[in-house]
Structure 1
Amino acid sequence: MTVADTLIHYRSARGRWVLLATVLGSSLAFIDATVVNIALPSIGEDLGADAAGLQWTVNGYALSLASLILLGGSLGDRFGRKRIFMIGVAWFAAASLLCGMAPTIESLIGARVLQGIGGALLTPGSLAILQASFSQDDRARAIGAWSGLGGIGGALGPFLGGWLVEAGSWRYIFLINVPVALLVLLVCARHVPESRNPEAAHHFDVAGIVTGAIGLGGLTYGFTAWPMRGPTDPVVLISLALGVAGLAAFVLAERRSPQPMVPLEIFRHRAFSGANLVTFVVYAANGGVFFLFVINLQVVGGFSPLAAGIALLPTTVIMLLLSARSGQLGQRIGPRIPMTVGPLICGGALLMMAMIGPGASYLTDVLPSVIIFGLGLTTLVAPLTATALGSLDDAHAGIASGVNNAVARAASLLAVAVLPLAAGLGSGSLTVADQLQPVYRNTMLICAGLMAGGAVLAFLLIPNRIQKPTPARTFCDPCSPPMPSAHDAVRSGR
């Protein structure tokens, strides 16, 4: 079976199944990174956990996920993206079952660490499968649809979690992952083609794995502990220093390795490096927005938790409706224009959000900025993701996705830790209206500046046209079920 015969057309039935599997799989990891916050009070009461135990319930997951996400992308390229994705989904389901059955806070923390490992295996694979499975003309649209549908999962997750906690028990927010994971595994087994890089070595780059995990893990823990401990705390300083040293050692290890986990030559591609720089800047801004916007609506604006929680829902709806078309547009006119215009639109929306204060009306003060923000993200996200993956050949789809995910997560963590301090929080509180209001306003202005910087970087670094990757060397499993080629699918109208 040739590679051309295994490429999926976006409008085919199989294309829709592949999209469903990747969206549901990635949503498992994304939702669990946030929905557990809703259950923390119930977890603390039920298990008798102190503040440190609850903090590690959140941090344990983030730490293992961020530390190993590069490894997950590399393993997919080497041993099969479908295979590693399915292992990650099954691992995540088993760890979720352990979370739901945890008798103590210590066992829950351990299960959450295991969940993060599963998330690190499945997260890069979802986008890598799209990149390697869909035909060249359909990839941008598929990635756009993935972005929009994933946003729906992110928006519904907190509501589902809150309902499960109130209707039953905090344990249900973990146990519900099991049937969803089983559905993903079933769809993958029947419909998702296998792909890998046949030139990748099948032995482990131990030095790269260890130094990469130390680097990403140190930075993740340092940034996570920063808001609670302060920037001068020895634990924070040591963690950040260890993270920087680990990443430096990682670069040296990969440069010397004959078969590196992350081939450094991928960063010589201007579009790939540029897309990841833009990702870092705009996702730092997004991290600040999503962290403080809802808090400000409640503490300063006087909104109820439910009203604040659904305030950003129009953004999600807009992304769902328009992301696939945005991906198509970026493919037709090139990514530079949408990646330049999108952050500028977001920046304008953030200037409007900065004005939200006491007594704000949702219809006149909040909704217009939320709609504009959604239009900006829709313009930006699909072309950005497609460029980060499409600027390399298909053989590196997994590691390209892993790098881009790691950059986005590091940026968001950094934003949550640093932006409130940079905005003047000092020793103030995020739950006191008079102290939060100026911090929120300054943060939104800083984030607007970051968006403008992302637009400048995109204009300078992203080419008007992405050169087509070198001919795909992706291996497609001849034992996978046969499927029509993209040409046949188009001809048959599927």
Structure 2
Amino acid sequence: MSRRNGDHEPNKWAGLAALLAGFFVILLDATIVAVASPSVQDDLKPDVSGLFWVTAGYLLAFSVPLLIAGRLGDRYDPKRVFLAGMGGFAVASALCGLAPSVGWLIAFRVAQGLAAAAMTPQPLTLIRRLFSADERGRALGAWGSVASAGTLLGPTLGGLLTASLDWRWIFWVNVPVCAIAILMGWRWIPSSPVHATQLDLLGAVTSAIGLAGLVWALLAWRSVAMPAIVIAVAVSVILLALFVFHERRMGAVALAPLRLYRSRGYRTASVAMAALGTAVIAMALPTMLYLQETRGLGPMEAALVMAPDAVIAAALSPVGGRWVDRVGSRRPAITGMALLAASLVIIGLVVTLNPHPWWAALGAAVLGVSNAVAWSPLSVAAMASVDSGVAGAASGMYNTVRQAAAVAGVAVIGAILAGLGQRPTLAFGVVFTFLTVIAIIGVMAASGLPKSSAGDDSDPGTAAGPGAGDEYPEAIDHVAKDAQPQ
């Protein structure tokens, strides 16, 4: 296949760097605002609700369009959708830094979230195209370490920029990163074959409104009258039920091809990733509350306690990726999820028994090993189970499940902390018990993965269409050949 106009010879590792830069700023901006909130409040004078929606608006806009964004990648080329999303993210970040009021800041944060949603499903599709089957584990291991680092470095970088410059720099710092990544991506990420399928407009509308109502209810239930929450949940359930019924009738052009869940690899990887995403995102708030409010550490010191996670994940992700390439997904995934449960037990014991707070660094170190090992095999197993024609939709569904589960986890953690606020030790104990149970569910799901990443016990024809399951290696060989310059 000849390269399109504007394409250059693919450089897979430079292309991966561009993808990881985009993924990093997406996750960074989900957490970077928290530590700068007092400065934002001093400058823009929002009430508590307005300050809450600076973060919640981003999460809402990020979570809802993921299904649609995955299908847009299939239709219009994931490279183009990713680069367009990154450009939009850079512009929205610049505008966030210029916001004259909290209302404008929330609006620009929503724009950031929409751009992030456009970007998020594309890396898994593009990594599948850039890397051969025996290298994909290393590439997705790097993706996983960046996911962990972006989530945990947000408070640290936010505190550093706010203290040394101004809170507006937590947004402006994205602009040069995005600009460099766009140039790298335009040059080194290859264009992909597009699939001229019609867009499922009814599915897009019902899924978007249904997910928006559900995520809004999860985020806002503590600050909004309960009748409004009940109505939102009821309408969401009806619309999502209609969406599922509609998708079953749409066949190949479905926005969310639900037949993918017939594949054991895709189904179990999605459940395990939902558990992983929930635990990693939801543990950040109670851990930081304990370290700062209960033990009196400053923001930077508290961030340093948890720093072993990001450092170890970054250092070990290539090793974890090579392990996946060598032995397949199942053993690394089980190991990673078991280490996740162990890390939560360690941190849970610290926050309930009150030893020296730096003991939490041991739990962070175990969490770092978990992140280095778990993200790659789950993503390899999920994407190895799908046909190239629905890779974008599969990635969109995979990321939607992860993000929706994480938002739900954060809502549950918030409810526990609010309900048991007068008894913090009990609250922290309940929180980490809940998260440990979630991690154990992830271990059980990972144990159901196929033994080989290249195969699946389900019928490939019914799981993901031609080219999935056992036929996947040949499909990948064909795609890899297409990526080479002619």
Counterpart residue number, 2:432: 444
* Aligned with residue 289 of structure 2, among 284, 295, 299: 295
> Counterpart of 2:444 in structure 1: which amino acid?
V
After the TM superposition, which residues 388-407 of structure 1 pair with which residues of structure 2 at under 5 Å, given as runs?
388-407=382-401
CA 1:362–1:122: 2 relative to 1, 3 Å: same
Contact 2:291 2:297 in 1 (8 A): yes
Counterpart residue number, 1:166: 163
Counterpart residue number, 1:47: 44
* Aligned with residue 278 of structure 2, among 268, 274, 284: 284
Aligned-pair distance for 1:83?
Answer: 0.4
Counterpart residue number, 1:487: none
Measure the CA separation in 2 of the matches of 1:190 and 1:275.
Answer: 32
Aligned-pair distance for 1:337?
Answer: 1.8
The answer as to 2:447 corresponding to 1:453 is: no
What secondary structure sits across from 1:354 in the alignment? helix
Contact 1:195 1:477 in 2 (8 A): no
Which residues of structure 1 form unaligned runs of 5+? 485-494
The answer as to 2:142 corresponding to 1:145 is: yes
* Aligned with residue 361 of structure 2, among 362, 367, 370: 367
Which ranges of 4 or more aligned residues in structure 1 deviate by more than 4 Å? Answer: 472-478
Contact 1:389 1:401 in 2 (8 A): yes
Contact 1:285 1:447 in 2 (8 A): yes
Counterpart residue number, 1:59: 56
Contact 1:196 1:476 in 2 (8 A): no
> Counterpart of 1:316 in structure 2: which amino acid?
A
After the TM superposition, which residues 71-82 of structure 1 pair with which residues of structure 2 at under 5 Å, given as runs?
71-82=68-79
Aligned-pair distance for 1:157?
Answer: 3.2
Q: Which moved more, 1:134-143 or 1:332-341?
A: 332-341
> Counterpart of 1:213 in structure 2: which amino acid?
A
What secondary structure sits across from 1:471 in the alignment? helix
Contact 2:269 2:446 in 1 (8 A): yes
Aligned-pair distance for 1:48?
Answer: 2.5
The answer as to 2:464 corresponding to 1:471 is: no
Contact 1:346 1:451 in 2 (8 A): yes
Counterpart residue number, 2:256: 262
The answer as to 2:103 corresponding to 1:106 is: yes
Q: TM-score, normalised by structure 2?
A: 0.88
CA 1:197–1:392: 2 relative to 1, 3 Å: farther
What secondary structure sits across from 2:365 in the alignment? helix
After the TM superposition, which residues 220-239 of structure 1 pair with which residues of structure 2 at under 5 Å, given as runs?
220-229=215-224, 233-239=226-232
Identical-residue share of aligned pairs (%): 32
> Counterpart of 1:194 in structure 2: which amino acid?
S
The answer as to 2:179 corresponding to 1:182 is: yes
Counterpart residue number, 2:246: 253
Measure the CA separation in 2 of the matches of 1:473 and 1:194.
Answer: 17
CA 1:477–1:349: 2 relative to 1, 3 Å: closer
RMSD of aligned Cα (Å): 2.6
Counterpart residue number, 1:334: 328
After the TM superposition, which residues 283-432 of structure 1 pair with which residues of structure 2 at under 5 Å, given as runs?
283-357=277-351, 360-363=355-358, 365-419=359-413, 421=415, 425=417, 427-429=419-421
* Aligned with residue 35 of structure 1, among 32, 36, 48: 32
What secondary structure sits across from 2:305 in the alignment? coil
What is the CA deviation profile of residues 81-117 of structure 1, one whole-angstrom value per residue up to 9, with x for unaligned ones?
Answer: 1000011011111111221222222222211111111
Contact 1:288 1:416 in 2 (8 A): yes
Measure the CA separation in 2 of the matches of 1:233 and 1:380.
Answer: 38
Aligned-pair distance for 1:471?
Answer: 1.6
What secondary structure sits across from 1:189 in the alignment? helix
Measure the CA separation in 2 of the matches of 1:453 and 1:402.
Answer: 22
The answer as to 2:194 corresponding to 1:206 is: no
Contact 1:302 1:359 in 2 (8 A): no
CA 1:348–1:131: 2 relative to 1, 3 Å: same
The answer as to 2:214 corresponding to 1:219 is: yes
CA 1:174–1:420: 2 relative to 1, 3 Å: closer
Aligned-pair distance for 1:338?
Answer: 2.0
CA 1:302–1:157: 2 relative to 1, 3 Å: closer
Contact 1:92 1:119 in 2 (8 A): yes
Counterpart residue number, 2:459: none
Aligned-pair distance for 1:260?
Answer: 1.6
> Counterpart of 1:282 in structure 2: which amino acid?
L
Q: Which moved more, 1:321-330 or 1:300-309?
A: 300-309
> Counterpart of 2:427 in structure 1: which amino acid?
V
> Counterpart of 1:454 in structure 2: which amino acid?
G
Contact 2:420 2:426 in 1 (8 A): no
Aligned-pair distance for 1:197?
Answer: 4.2
CA 1:327–1:113: 2 relative to 1, 3 Å: same
Measure the CA separation in 2 of the matches of 1:91 and 1:241.
Answer: 33
Measure the CA separation in 2 of the matches of 1:324 and 1:305.
Answer: 30
Counterpart residue number, 1:25: 22
Measure the CA separation in 1 of the matches of 2:218 and 2:477.
Answer: 39
Measure the CA separation in 1 of the matches of 2:46 and 2:193.
Answer: 44
> Counterpart of 1:178 in structure 2: which amino acid?
V
CA 1:288–1:142: 2 relative to 1, 3 Å: same
Q: Which moved more, 1:160-169 or 1:139-148?
A: 160-169
> Counterpart of 2:192 in structure 1: which amino acid?
S
Aligned-pair distance for 1:244?
Answer: 2.2
> Counterpart of 1:225 in structure 2: which amino acid?
A
CA 1:143–1:263: 2 relative to 1, 3 Å: same
What secondary structure sits across from 1:462 in the alignment? coil
Contact 2:200 2:255 in 1 (8 A): yes
Aligned-pair distance for 1:228?
Answer: 4.3
The answer as to 2:282 corresponding to 1:274 is: no
Which residues of structure 2 form unaligned runs of 5+? 456-469
Contact 1:143 1:324 in 2 (8 A): no
Counterpart residue number, 1:91: 88
What is the CA deviation profile of residues 362-386 of structure 1, one whole-angstrom value per residue up to 9, with x for unaligned ones?
Answer: 45x2222222222233222211122
Aligned-pair distance for 1:13?
Answer: 8.8
Measure the CA separation in 1 of the matches of 2:187 and 2:235.
Answer: 44
Measure the CA separation in 2 of the matches of 1:38 and 1:254.
Answer: 41
